Amino acid sequence: MSKPILLTVDDDPEVLNAIERDLRQHFRTDYRVVKAASGAQALETITELKQRGTQVALFLVDERMPHMTGTQFLVEAIKIYPDARKVLLTAYADTETAITAINQIGLDHYLMKPWEPPSVRLYPVLEDLLSEWHARARPVFDGIRVAGNVLSQASFAVKDFLASNHVPYQWLDMDDEATVRELLSGAAGGAFRLPLVFFPDGTVLVQPTTRELADKVGLQTRAQKPFYDLIVVGGGPAGLAGAVYGASEGLRTILVERSAPGGQAGTSSKIENYLGFPSGVSGAELARRAATQAKRFGAEIITAQEAVEIRREDPYRKVILGDGTELTGYAVLIAPGMEVRRLEAAGCDSLLGAGVYYGAALTEAATYRGQDVIVVGGANSAGQGAMFFSLHARKVSMVVRGPNLSATMSQYLVDRIADTPNVEVLTNTTIVAARGDGRLESVTVANGTSGERRDLPVSAMFIFIGTAPRTSFCGDLVMRDRQGYVLTGRDVMTDGRPPSGWTAGRDPYLFETNVPGIFCAGDARHGSGKRVAAAVGEGSATVSMIHQYLQSV
C-alpha cells in the first residue's frame, strides 16, 4: 500500500521548498510529501492521485496565490478528497479570510507564516490533524480498479477475465457513484468508453482487450523458448493435466490458453464429484492449484492467446497463434474442450451482458442479489448454476426443455434442487424471447405441451444449453466427426488400416489422432467422458503415449 500524501501548495518557491523540507523531515516515514507551485497544478496532481487510488491525508496551502487562492483551491480539492485535512498558510492580514474559510469549507486550521520553530508551531498541529484523519479514513484499495457499467458486455468481459485469472480488482459501478463518474470524465476526457481499468502505477486502459489486460497484469502471453517437446492447446482440466505430467516428467512443455486456465470446470461454482474433495471444490480453485502445479514443474502457461492453426512439418508440429506467433515442437496435445451453444431466441443477442449471460457468470451473482433470475438448461452445469444463484437471488426459475431433470442431471443435484425452496423448475418449457430497454426486464416462455406462452419478469438469465467442441482450428489436418469432435486411436482406423498420411510403423496410440505426434484429450475428443476426472485422466495418460512417440523422432 502506498503512503498517504501530504500535499503542499505555494507559488513562492522559497516558501514551498521550506515547508516541503520541514514536512519531509518529520513525516517521511509514514507519508509522502508532494508539492505544487499553483492551485491549478495541485488540482491536476490530485486528480491523478485519485485515479491511482492514492490517499491524500492533508492539504497545506498558501492562501495568497495569484489566479487561485488557497481557499479557492480547497473548495475544489475537497470535492475529490472530502476527508483530507485542510490547513491554510496565512499572513497576519489573512485572519479574516481564514475565519471565512472555516465556515465555508470546514478549514481545520490556519498557520501563520513563518512557522518557526516547526517542532512547536507546525508538527504538533499537523500530528493532531493527521491522527484525526487516520481515525476516520477508510483504507483505499490499492490494486486494480475496473470502472464500468453493470449492464455492459465489455465491462463483464474485463471482470470475467480478471476473476478467472485470479487477479483481484475493485469494481466501481459508474451508475452508483458520483465520484466514479468524476474519475471517468477525468481519465477519458469525458469520452466514457467503458470499462476503464485503473492500475496502481497510474496507467489507465480504455476498453482493453484480454491480451492488453494480460500483458498489463503480468500474465505470460509469449513463449520463452524457441522449441518445445510438448505444446498443449487449451488450459482446461485435460490440458492442465497434460502440462503437469509433461513438465514433471522433464518435457519442455508450453500450454496455450485463449482466456484463463480452468476451462469449463473453472466456471463451475462447486465440483462435488472430483476424487479427493468430499465437500466439493470450486472450479476456480482447482484451476488455480493445477496451473500453479504445472508452473512449479517448469511448464510455461501463456494466456489470452488462441491457437488458430496446427501444421505438420515432419518431424515438427507447429501451432500458430492468433497474433501470428509460431510455436514449434515435437508433439501437440489438443485439449480445447467445448464452447457454449447460443440460444436462438429473439432479443437475446442485444441484451448480452445486460442481464443475459452464457454460463455461470459467477462475477455477476452479487449484482442480482434479491432479484428474480432464470437459469436455462437441464444438465449438471445448469443445476449447479441454479444452486449457486439460489444463494443470492430471491427466486431462481429453471427453464428445462425436457419433461424432467432426472434424464439429464446427476441425481444428487436433482435432489438438492428439490430441497431448495427458492428454485422452481419449469419443465417442457422453452425461451421464446428476451425483452428489455437497455437491460433484461422479462422473458417469454412457451410450454411445449400446451403451447401456452407467458411473460416472466426477471433481471437476469443464465444460459446453459449445451456445448460444441472448439476444434475448428484443427482444419483438415486432424480428423473429426460430424459434430467436430476429434477422432483418436481406433476411431481413425478404417478396416484395421491406419489413415492416409500415417507414417509411423505402428497403429495410432489410444489418444493419438490421424497425425503421428498430435494427440487429443478431454471433452473435445470423440467418445470422451465429459467430466473433470475423465479430462484429467486423459490429459495425464496422454503423456506416457507422448513419451513413447518422442522415442521415435
Ligand X SMILES: Cc1cc2nc3c(=O)[nH]c(=O)nc-3n(C[C@H](O)[C@H](O)[C@H](O)COP(=O)(O)OP(=O)(O)OC[C@H]3O[C@@H](n4cnc5c(N)ncnc54)[C@H](O)[C@@H]3O)c2cc1C
Count, residues near ligand X per rule CB under 6 A: 39
Cα–Cα separations (whole angstroms), residue 453 to 429, 431, 435, 445, 450: 9, 10, 14, 6, 9
Least distance from ligand X to the Cβ atom of residue 528, Å? 7
Judged by beta carbon, residue 532 or residue 543, the one nearer ligand X is 532
Binding-site member from 307, 376, 414, 515 for ligand X (CB under 6 A): 307
Work out whether 526 is an interface residue with ligand X (CB under 6 A): no
Give Cβ neighbours of residue 277 (< 8 Å, ≥ 6 apart).
271
Work out whether 300 is an interface residue with ligand X (CB under 6 A): no
Which string of DSSP letters, residue by residue, matches 214-251?
HHHHT---S--SS-EEEEEE--SHHHHHHHHHHHHTT-
Least distance from ligand X to the Cβ atom of residue 428, Å? 23
Binding-site member from 8, 51, 155, 267 for ligand X (CB under 6 A): 267
Q: Are strands 316-321 and 326-334 parallel, antiparallel or unpaired?
A: antiparallel
CA distance 542 to 523: 14
Work out whether 364 is an interface residue with ligand X (CB under 6 A): no
Work out whether 489 is an interface residue with ligand X (CB under 6 A): no
Which of 320, 203, 234, 101 lies closest to 538 in space, CA to CA? 234
DSSP, res 99: H
- Look at the alpha carbons of 276, 280, 285, 291 in this order and tell me if their dihedral is positive or negative: positive
Least distance from ligand X to the Cβ atom of residue 232, Å? 9
Binding-site member from 53, 148, 329, 337 for ligand X (CB under 6 A): 337
Which of 134, 143, 130 lies closest to 1 in space, CA to CA? 143
Judged by beta carbon, residue 144 or residue 256, the one nearer ligand X is 256
Which triple of cell numbers denotes residue 384? 449447479
Least distance from ligand X to the Cβ atom of residue 385, Å? 6
Work out whether 255 is an interface residue with ligand X (CB under 6 A): no
Give Cβ neighbours of residue 240 (< 8 Å, ≥ 6 apart).
255, 261, 287, 290, 291, 294, 536, 539
Judged by beta carbon, residue 118 or residue 329, the one nearer ligand X is 329
Binding-site member from 61, 183, 238, 440 for ligand X (CB under 6 A): 238
Least distance from ligand X to the Cβ atom of residue 455, Å? 27
DSSP, res 207: S
Least distance from ligand X to the Cβ atom of residue 109, Å? 58
Least distance from ligand X to the Cβ atom of residue 153, Å? 18
Backbone angles phi, psi at 181, to 5 degrees: -60, -40
Which triple of cell numbers denotes residue 389? 444463484
3-state DSSP assignment of residue 520: strand
Cα–Cα separations (whole angstroms), residue 37 to 25, 46, 81, 233, 285: 20, 13, 19, 56, 50
Which string of DSSP letters, residue by residue, matches 253-292?
EEEE-SS-TTHHHHT-S-B-SSTT-TT-B-HHHHHHHHHH
**Span from 73-81, 232-240, 346-354, 415-423 in contact with ligand X (CB under 6 A):** 232-240
Least distance from ligand X to the Cβ atom of residue 293, Å? 15
Binding-site member from 360, 396, 486, 492 for ligand X (CB under 6 A): 360
Binding-site member from 523, 526, 537, 540 for ligand X (CB under 6 A): 523
Work out whether 208 is an interface residue with ligand X (CB under 6 A): no
Work out whether 271 is an interface residue with ligand X (CB under 6 A): yes
Work out whether 384 is an interface residue with ligand X (CB under 6 A): yes
Looking from the CA of 180 toward its CB, the CA atoms found within 13 Å total 19
Binding-site member from 43, 57, 265, 345 for ligand X (CB under 6 A): 265
Judged by beta carbon, residue 55 or residue 384, the one nearer ligand X is 384
How many residues does the structure list for the chain? 553
Work out whether 542 is an interface residue with ligand X (CB under 6 A): no
**What x-and-dash track marks residues 454-483 binding ligand X by CB under 6 A?**
----------------x--x----------
Work out whether 242 is an interface residue with ligand X (CB under 6 A): no
CA distance 139 to 55: 8
Least distance from ligand X to the Cβ atom of residue 322, Å? 8
CA distance 547 to 246: 9
Work out whether 381 is an interface residue with ligand X (CB under 6 A): yes
Work out whether 532 is an interface residue with ligand X (CB under 6 A): yes
Work out whether 118 is an interface residue with ligand X (CB under 6 A): no
**What x-and-dash track marks residues 166-205 binding ligand X by CB under 6 A?**
----------------------------------------
Which triple of cell numbers denotes residue 18? 521550506
> What's the alpha-carbon Rg for the chain, to the nearest Å?
30
**Span from 194-202, 335-343, 444-452, 491-499 in contact with ligand X (CB under 6 A):** 335-343
Interface with ligand X by CB under 6 A: which residues? 233-239, 256-259, 263-265, 267-268, 271-273, 306-307, 335-338, 360, 380-381, 384, 470, 473, 522-524, 530-533, 535
